[in-house]
Structure 1
Amino acid sequence: PECDAPGFFEDRVEGIEVGDDRGRYGGGDDGSSCGTLQYVRIEFAGAELSPDNELNGLTVAGCGSGTTLSYVQVHRGKDDGIEFFGGTANLDHAIISGPSDDGLDCDEGWRGEAQFIVVHQFPGIGDNAIECDNLGSDESAEPRTNPSISNITLVGAGEGRVAVLREGFRADIDNLVAVNFNAPPDLRSEELNLADEWPTNLSIENSYFYEVGDFPAETGEDDDDMGFDEAAAFTDPARNNDFETDPMLGDTSITAPNYIPGVALSGVAPAFGDTSASYAGAFENGGTNWAEGWAAFPEN
């Protein structure tokens, strides 16, 4: 929606040329609707128009909670898989497979809910499975990017990072499963004391990390979080995270994946969406494969 109320922020979606009104977004109605995408596949979409000016597979900008995004696959997009710019739109039962950059990206005040999400990075392409910011020019800008995320499976190819969370990003993330990455989650800030944010305003809990690399020692020029110790934060027993258990996903091939784990992965009951999904990951051990019959993984 365009911003037509005095005092409300308006911006432009990256990738849309100045002068094209389709790039405008903003407004103050958290309940607005941008329409419905349900049982939809978006394949081989997106493009880099110029440096730092890209079209994602799916961009959701300033959309409210009246928007329906359910059973959506974004496959082999040229930039990020799905990116939220502000708004309160919710997302459920989504697969982001083979993105050229980040999988799930969010910025500029997105406060929606996301449940039952898969990000599958393919060999030789892709960056972070999740990359989320608030606002680089003002990390405390309101409304803060502050989604609720549960039941998410992240599959790497031995490359890339599980997540980069930065620039004032806040979130409550539970029931995450991440396997086969080169680096674990990285929290970054140049303005805020992350020790004051974690775990009250930003947390990842009740989650499984298997073969995701080690937390690096960030000192000197490599210190991007003013001394925050991610290793201590994520392995704190109070966060209930597991770095030892192999989820034994059924198949992580790029043409016929099966993301159902071979072992039970206990989690916590989400506070939103399907509150009965008290297991980690987008699929339950022994449960229904909700991707069957509509998702596809073509190579070209």
Structure 2
Amino acid sequence: MKRFSWLLNTAGLSCALLLLPACDSGDDGDDDAADTVGDTGETTSGEEDTVTVSADITEDTTWTADKTYVLAGDTLVFVHGATLTIEPGTLIRGEAGSALVIEKDSMLVAEGTADAPIVFTSFDSENAAPGDWGGLVLIGEATINLEGGVGMAEGFPIPPTYGGSDDSHNCGSLRYVRVEYAGFAISEGNELNGITFYGCGTETSVSYVQSHMGLDDGIEMFGGSFDADHLVVTGASDDSLDMDQGFSGRVQHVFIQQNPLVGDNCFEISNQGSDFDATPKTSPELCNVTCIGSGSSGEKSKGVTIKEGTHGTWHATIFTNTSNEATNLADEATFVEADAGNIEFANNIFFANLGADEHVSGAESLDTAGWTAWVQDAARANLGTDPGLGTTWGSPNAVPSGDVTGDGTGCGGTSYIGAVDPSGEDWTAGAWINYAE
């Protein structure tokens, strides 16, 4: 019988309170069921190279590339007080309702290689689809801007808390990791993202990571502060990158392609919905990004929506092929921040975006024409040139063939606009990437 790990670890909570159809007595009478191994909840499943994980991990554990790990259905596997290390080349499959949650007293060390990535994927190897399983969640104790400085992770039946005052909190390291077909709803209307970072701090390391075909956001950061580089988000059903609750950090070298049929913003940058003045302000620096929108068949596709009085900068970024606007200044509070110099768009390319207006303002003090003039001010050096990208869904080409020369001083000295250096290596290709529809 499938077991909810969060239920088994909550003493005194009745099934009735959680509206579960039945309780598990601990013995379902099936003599053929696999035996639990140790405290990790790992069970054999009939093949020596397959390990089913059905309970929380409470001691340091290593997953190895010679086995396939299956997150059991309807199981939120929490890592408590331990480090989970995953070797290069390891495959992890999530069954419906499963997810892997790294608690704030734990750490994930998932460091693959370009030729041997670590892959989190669907249980269905033949017909994988968005939402087949939950996703990857990392929880930390860095500063967030919610009242009281602590939040409750959204959607969980028994929500873990996140946030605090440890701004260097290390949630772990992700390198050459791909998370795909995630986004299962763990409660009504609460789909998990491909990867979610809650209050992760500056010691967290994120490089060469792809989120592919998720049912909600590709990657979301709730507060905290860390840098990330070489991210790929493809086919997210909602926003590709979502940042809020005071998140800060430089995110550089990012390639985004939206599904032609679904997808909202390449970036949604928010401060805090119930208090636009909450501090610290969300303030990411986005550098060397390529955002390819859904094209003419997309209904919601946009480049970036900035709202709730947030801060943020976009340098050396390409916005192209969005169905609607490339930039959306959502409200008056956000215009006030832009007017004060806390929002910047400079040395970017806006090309072939399909909305009636390429730049849209919902602010009372600055209409769409005024916001367009603000973005297109010559001092900001934003361009309308063709970057020469391949935008075909499922087989994109992120290497520009057009002139993308630009001043990337704000991005650590790059001399080109977009995710990939046209004179360098195409880091968006190779064995670690999946573009399959």
- Structure 2 length-normalised TM: 0.62
Alpha-carbon contact 2:218-2:238 (below 8 Å) kept: yes
Q: Which residue number in structure 2 is paired with residue 153 of structure 1?
A: 290
Q: Which residue number in structure 1 is paired with residue 396 of structure 2?
A: 257
Secondary structure at the aligned position of 1:147 is classed as: strand
Is residue 297 of structure 1 aligned with residue 428 of structure 2?
no
Is residue 205 of structure 1 aligned with residue 346 of structure 2?
yes
Quote the offset at 1:37 in angstroms. 0.8
> Which one-letter code corresponds to 1:230 in the other structure?
W
Cα gap change, 1:87/1:270 in structure 2, threshold over 3 Å: closer, same or farther?
farther
Q: Which residue number in structure 1 is paired with residue 156 of structure 2?
A: 16
Quote the offset at 1:267 in angstroms. 2.2
Identity of aligned pairs, percent? Answer: 36
> Which one-letter code corresponds to 2:262 in the other structure?
I
Choose which of 331, 349, 355 in structure 2 pairs with 1:189: 331
Aligned counterparts of 2:186 and 2:237: Cα–Cα separation in 1? 14
Out of 290-299 and 119-128, give the one that drifted further.
290-299
Quote the offset at 1:168 in angstroms. 1.2
Choose which of 359, 363, 384 in structure 2 pairs with 1:225: 363
Alpha-carbon contact 1:260-1:287 (below 8 Å) kept: no
Aligned counterparts of 1:52 and 1:11: Cα–Cα separation in 2? 19
Aligned counterparts of 2:373 and 2:427: Cα–Cα separation in 1? 35
Q: Which residue number in structure 2 is paired with residue 37 of structure 1?
A: 174
Q: Which residue number in structure 1 is paired with residue 310 of structure 2?
A: 169
Secondary structure at the aligned position of 2:379 is classed as: helix
Aligned counterparts of 2:280 and 2:340: Cα–Cα separation in 1? 19
Is residue 141 of structure 1 aligned with residue 281 of structure 2?
no
Counterparts of residues 16-95 of structure 1 (less than 5 Å): 16-17=156-157, 19-21=158-160, 24-50=161-187, 52-95=189-232
Quote the offset at 1:271 in angstroms. 4.2
Aligned counterparts of 2:434 and 2:282: Cα–Cα separation in 1? 31
Alpha-carbon contact 2:141-2:166 (below 8 Å) kept: no
Aligned counterparts of 1:162 and 1:289: Cα–Cα separation in 2? 23
Aligned counterparts of 1:155 and 1:225: Cα–Cα separation in 2? 26
Aligned counterparts of 1:193 and 1:66: Cα–Cα separation in 2? 30
Alpha-carbon contact 1:210-1:246 (below 8 Å) kept: yes
Out of 80-89 and 225-234, give the one that drifted further.
225-234
Is residue 267 of structure 1 aligned with residue 413 of structure 2?
no
Q: Which has the higher contact order (CA 8 A, sep 6+)?
A: 1
Alpha-carbon contact 1:193-1:226 (below 8 Å) kept: no
Q: Which residue number in structure 1 is paired with residue 85 of structure 2?
A: none
Alpha-carbon contact 1:34-1:66 (below 8 Å) kept: yes
RMSD of aligned residue pairs (Cα, Å): 2.2
Q: Which residue number in structure 2 is paired with residue 98 of structure 1?
A: 235
> Which one-letter code corresponds to 1:247 in the other structure?
P
Kindly provide the CA deviation profile for residues 177-233 of structure 1, in whole angstroms up to 9, marking residues without a partner as x. Answer: 01111222001225x261553361001110001111343797xxxx73113232111
Cα gap change, 1:97/1:193 in structure 2, threshold over 3 Å: closer, same or farther?
closer
Alpha-carbon contact 2:246-2:280 (below 8 Å) kept: yes
Out of 277-286 and 78-87, give the one that drifted further.
277-286
Quote the offset at 1:138 in angstroms. 1.1
Quote the offset at 1:153 in angstroms. 0.4
